[in-house]
A and B are shown apart, each in its own frame.
Chain A
């Protein structure tokens, strides 16, 4: 059951042979069928590049990068020519190949890229750019994709699709009339003047560089071969590491080489809120299974406010002199971080949002949706919605990010979120992680080893993690209704972690498989009190 390439519609196939899921993909888009599994190792380093092929695929988290986006910016004269159909768009020089290669190289290195947007009706590169991030597979697509040697060097697999030229012309007329608002005369003129010679001179010769030449029709077998190859390559790169980090002392040697059972709070370098009467009282209420929802919300807000206040001390401060209304001079200080933003790890990190907003005025907040895989329990990155300060690399380098999550247990989601921020160019020492609870013997020690400069602020530290079993249900991706192992913190505060887990895996809630469903969840989430709706 291979995916089939039909125009630009790409059929996605789920592992395990379940019915294929059809998504019609646009150019320069990110396709996800089931989220993005870890692309880094226990030490936090990136262990694999994205896999770059140059035509088609059918695996989770695919970015399609189209050559069409990289037409050069036109001057006034060129623009006039273009509107008269007199500009040669089918010559390699019409494309900004260095920019194409730079964007592809960034994406391949798992960084974000803000690619240009080209308007075919205006014949011009637009002001805005499109943000792309998080590919497991990148498909670079376009007739000139194999022309430039710098681009060729980046591809892992080069595919040339050979097609009958009558068929190509027919498709071209259909497309340009319908999608690009051109006249048939103009199209034909352009075809004979530029397209055809260009194909003969530039495109067809590049077939020699291809690893695989696929026929443009009746290509089921070729695509099956292609898919098998890509799947094999991805399997080689797969990283299953949640088990390892959840109970680290069983798997990872301690720094001294001795078989130490686990780390103390001091060694972990955690910043725990002073355990005052009020903090202890708040935690008692939050941990109590009989606490009603209203109280739970009120006290999570209160605790979140205190945590964020405590965390702010790790921002930089600089001297500032002011004059008070009684005309006295005061040598004070001012917070000196250039950009500050928050990133919530959905779902349960949403519980910290209100406290965060109470403390930092008008702060941009983004979110990452990380969910456990139903079978392996590995974290999957399902949705990335980051503030501008992180999306744009030159801003990210000067941005301080508060990562918000209810608890750090196995630390798998925290690990993934920190990796996402580092990929974007945020400095490790500019990341401050805020959580209600941290499990001392859980993944925290691996997290601290991997990212020692990340400051972690928490309300309390729980002793241990216990392996539990969450009942499965029959459904897509889990036809046998298998349950899966979960890690529970002891004593824990259940509600935030487990209640949400139950919510998201209950039969009443659709599994988050395609982009549509994720989008709806986020609309709910934007409504401020999300997490509470979810209880």
Chain B
């Protein structure tokens, strides 16, 4: 009887992140369409490195890539699968699953491009579209300057890439453009490293069916609409300009 056995050494729980820094401390409850990575000490240590203004560019690249890979992996988990039975080399039958549905990435220039490498490490030869959105000086509204998508984007699942979700302005504009190209909201997955609660609320209330995978939800925005504590300008730190 398995139940009569004395308990073995219990599985050590993963070390948690600082309670003050967790997502729920900044946004509670999370909107239903928002998914985050497990808030472990390990993930927090990665974020501590990329937040630190003293971190070298090499380390910034290495550790932000690690987070991006984890985010893309999490994003892919929201794609559908079908059951599939295969035969193993030892001759056994195995009831597994097969991937279903084609995907493509869409990066919001310029910082979103930095996430493409991480996406490609997880999905070989994935198609990637691009969107350039900038603030219109006259209206102060985000304006579409350029977009280029795979021709069959309407039949694909779209992974929208932008490292920072601050006010949500450009992400909302990007989803609008992608929807105009025939992709329904349900098939869009927005992936970012850090988000502000304000931007998350605005974005999810506008597009409740778009899934948002965010690495960490921060305290909020300052008067210049920078995320606090954030990590500064992602593109600037990544491309060193």
CB within 8 Å of B: which residues of A?
254-256, 258, 260, 263-264, 266-271, 276-278, 280-281, 283-284, 287-290, 298, 302, 305-306, 309, 312-317, 319-320, 322-326, 328-335, 358-359, 361, 448, 452-453, 455, 466, 468, 488-495, 498-499
**Residue from A268, A302, A324, A494 within 8 A of B51 (CB atoms):** A324
Tell me the B98-131 residues at the A interface (CB within 8 Å): 98-99, 121-122, 124
Contacts of B81 in A (CB 8 A): 277, 280-281
- Knowing A305-B69, A313-B14, the reply to whether A491 touches B48 (Cβ < 8 A) is no
CB atoms of B2 and A325 under 8 A apart = no
- In the assembled complex, the Cα of A361 lies from the Cα of B49 at a distance in Å of 13
- In the assembled complex, the Cα of A238 lies from the Cα of B115 at a distance in Å of 56
Contacts of B69 in A (CB 8 A): 305, 358
CB atoms of A284 and B86 under 8 A apart = yes
**Residue from B4, B14, B73, B80 within 8 A of A258 (CB atoms):** B4
CB atoms of B11 and A326 under 8 A apart = no
Q: Which residue of B lies closest to A494 (CB)?
A: B89
CB within 8 Å of A: which residues of B?
1-2, 4-12, 14-15, 17-18, 20-21, 40-42, 44-45, 47-49, 51-54, 59, 62, 66, 69-70, 73, 76-77, 79-81, 84, 86-90, 92-94, 96-99, 121-122, 124, 222, 226-233, 237
Q: Which residue of B lies closest to A453 (CB)?
A: B9
- In the assembled complex, the Cα of A20 lies from the Cα of B207 at a distance in Å of 78
Q: Which residue of B lies closest to A335 (CB)?
A: B45
CB atoms of B51 and A258 under 8 A apart = no
A-B contact count (CB 8 A): 187
**Residue from A317, A323, A491 within 8 A of B15 (CB atoms):** A317
- Knowing A317-B15, A493-B89, A494-B90, the reply to whether A325 touches B9 (Cβ < 8 A) is no
Q: Which 7 A-B pairs have the closest CB atoms?
A: A494-B89, A284-B96, A325-B232, A332-B48, A328-B229, A491-B92, A322-B52
- In the assembled complex, the Cα of A317 lies from the Cα of B1 at a distance in Å of 39
**Residue from A271, A281, A315 within 8 A of B97 (CB atoms):** A281
**Residue from B12, B70, B73, B94 within 8 A of A287 (CB atoms):** B94
Q: Is the interface of A mostly helix, strand, loop or mixed?
A: mixed
Q: Which residue of B lies closest to A488 (CB)?
A: B90
- Knowing A284-B84, A284-B97, A315-B42, the reply to whether A309 touches B70 (Cβ < 8 A) is yes
22 A-B pairs (CB sep. < 8 Å): A255-B6, A256-B5, A258-B5, A260-B5, A268-B8, A269-B8, A269-B11, A281-B96, A284-B98, A287-B96, A290-B86, A290-B87, A322-B52, A323-B52, A323-B54, A324-B230, A332-B21, A333-B41, A334-B48, A452-B9, A489-B90, A491-B92
- In the assembled complex, the Cα of A455 lies from the Cα of B10 at a distance in Å of 11
Contacts of A316 in B (CB 8 A): 15
- In the assembled complex, the Cα of A147 lies from the Cα of B206 at a distance in Å of 89
- Knowing A267-B8, A324-B231, A332-B47, the reply to whether A280 touches B96 (Cβ < 8 A) is yes
- Knowing A284-B96, A359-B66, the reply to whether A322 touches B48 (Cβ < 8 A) is yes
**Residue from B6, B20, B77 within 8 A of A277 (CB atoms):** B77
